[in-house]
Structure formats: C-alpha cells, structure tokens
Structure 1
Amino acid sequence: MISFRILEPADYPMIREWLARAHMKPWWDEELKTVAQVASAYSRNPASTWRYIAQENGCDIGYFQYWREDGLCGVDQFLAEGDRLGQGLGTATLSAFIAYLENLGITDPLTADPHVSNTRAIRCYEKCGFIHDPDRSTETRYFMERPRPAS
C-alpha cells in the first residue's frame, strides 16, 4: 500500500543520502551537498508548497511535493531506490499521490516539468494522464499538464 506522510526535519539526513545516489544526480538538487543545505532548502515552506515522504507498506520510498499557484498545482517527486526504477513503482506512487491530492479536494490541473532528457519520468507522467505542452516547454524542461478531473 502506498501512503504519504509530511516531511519532517528528522528526514533531512535521509533526503541528503537519497540525493547522493547515482540515479538522482542528473535530475535533482545536485547542489545540496550537506544535511544543513538540505535543511535550509527543504525547511523553506512557502504557504503554497507541501512536502511529503512516500511510503510503501510503511517503508520510506521517495519524496513528493506539490505547490499551488495561479489555478495550477505543480508536482515533483523522486523514488529513493534506483534498482526499483522501471518496475511500475513510480507510476503506482504518482497515481496514489494524484488520488491523495484529489482526496484533499485539489481539483486544479496538475503540472510537471521534468528535464527533457529524463525520459523515464516523462513516460511515468504520461501513464498518469499528463500531456506534453510544447508551447510551454523550454530547451531543458518538458512541460506537461494533467487536465482537471472530470466532475
């Protein structure tokens, strides 16, 4: 079972360790080299950003966040274990996060902007209903949007 718990300061060393893993380095917060830097970056919690640890059967498996701005809800995430990539866990966890957001009453269209070279992430988003928006994409960012759920 996939669930989410709020990120806590005690999680910062774990986040730092996850960010140092080989499968993470090309895509996520490579400049955060110390726990203090992670704490500084992840403790800044603007009123519009919420951070979570994803869990599978009670075990921490990744990081998820969302933010709301201008009628959209942006999402970012990563899985902690590189050897679990390509097995459907990302799609299952992102689908669970989408359901979690809907249960919170968030019905804004969801957006994501993975790096254009991160084909694994792009495919995961596509499997969860995100559609590429070439007009909002850049040389490095592949902008995607998941339309508002049907009422």
Structure 2
Amino acid sequence: MLHEWLSRPHVSEWWDGTPTFAGVVADFTPSIRGGVAHWCYIVMADGAPLGFIQAYSPVAFHDDGWWLDEHDPGVRGIDQFLAESALLGRGLGSAMVRAFVAKLFADPAITRIQTDPEPGNGRAIRCYEKAGFRAAGEIDTKDGPALLMYCERPVGESFPSIA
C-alpha cells in the first residue's frame, strides 16, 4: 500500500520521486522494526486509510548528515501526505497535521515540531500554515532547498490526548 501511494504523481512529485518497492522496504523497515527515532503511521478515517504521516527526532539523524544545527532532543520533525489526489484541497491534510501535532505535544518532552516542504510546494506550505506552522526561512538540505517551518508548543496551553 505504501509503495503504491508513494508512486502516485501527487505524492512522488514532492516525496523523493517514484520509488521502487525495494527502496520503500529499505527506507521504512527500520522504523517498523523499532530502534530508530522515526515513527510511521497510516492515518485512518471512518475505517479507511486516508494517508501517511511520520515523525522523527532530528538529532538522531546527525550521523546521516541531517539537521546538524538542531541540538534539542525535544524537537520532532514531521512529513505527511494524503493517499488520494481527490482528497486534496478539502482541509483534510491540515486537519490530519493538527491532530498529529496535538498527539505529539501531549508528550511534555516535545518542545517544537518542524517540517521542511520544498519551497515550490504551495499546497503543502498552506496545509502546514493552516495547522499552525510558521516559516522560519529557506534552507539547503541533502534533498535540495526546503522551507523550514516550525510549530511551537503554545505557552500555557495543553493539548488533548488523542488515542
């Protein structure tokens, strides 16, 4: 299912291109088995798969050359997509991100959440803005240019626990 989704044009355009099945297995098996600071989820709505969302600890990827300027172990990065292109533009992506952000911030150790869409991916940028993220500026990553965006833990606010 994940390979099929990642191969769809509305996803592959922004998510590392069209993957091979072996590439998807290699990329996601470590997080499925545990032992890495990378957590992947299939998002469900009304009993049907809606999309994919992942969280990761940026400091855990320093050895791979990622996020070398980030030193706060409480920061989480996220990435996501909706599985069906027909679902785009309906507010589902931002709702999915808001719910996931609430789930992450339910852990008091989480200090901030970041994401890094490509600067030309206006749809993703608007989705994250509607979910409470603010642009910090463009950066260069191993995958090319990105717009670094943050969602800060609101001071004095608590988030509901989402099961």
Normalising to structure 2: TM-score of the pair? Answer: 0.76
Query: Which letter does structure 2 place at the counterpart of 1:30?
Result: G
Q: How many residues are paired up?
A: 136
Give yes or no for the alignment of 1:63 onto 2:52: yes
Normalising to structure 1: TM-score of the pair? Answer: 0.82
> Which aligned segments of 4 or more residues in structure 1 are displaced greater than 4 angstroms?
none
Instruction: Quote the Cα distance in structure 1 between the aligned partners of 2:43 and 2:118.
Output: 22
Give ranges in structure 2 of 5+ residues lacking alignment: 60-70, 157-163
Instruction: Quote the Cα distance in structure 2 between the aligned partners of 1:79 and 1:121.
Output: 11
Query: Secondary structure of the equivalent of 2:101?
Result: helix
Query: Secondary structure of the equivalent of 1:24?
Result: helix
1:6 maps to what in 2? none
2:105 maps to what in 1? 102
Query: Which letter does structure 2 place at the counterpart of 1:110?
Result: I
Identity of aligned residues (%): 37
For the aligned residues, what is the CA RMSD?
A: 1.7
Bigger shift: residues 45-54 or 16-25: 45-54
Give yes or no for the alignment of 1:80 onto 2:83: yes
Per-residue deviation at 1:107? 2.7
Instruction: Select which of 6, 13, 21 maps to 1:26.
Output: 13
Give ranges in structure 1 of 5+ residues lacking alignment: 1-13
1:119 maps to what in 2? 122
Query: Which letter does structure 2 place at the counterpart of 1:21?
Result: R
Instruction: Quote the Cα distance in structure 2 between the aligned partners of 1:106 and 1:79.
Output: 28
Per-residue deviation at 1:140? 1.9
Higher relative contact order (CA 8 A, sep 6+): 1
Q: 1:112 to 1:120 in 2, by over 3 A?
A: same
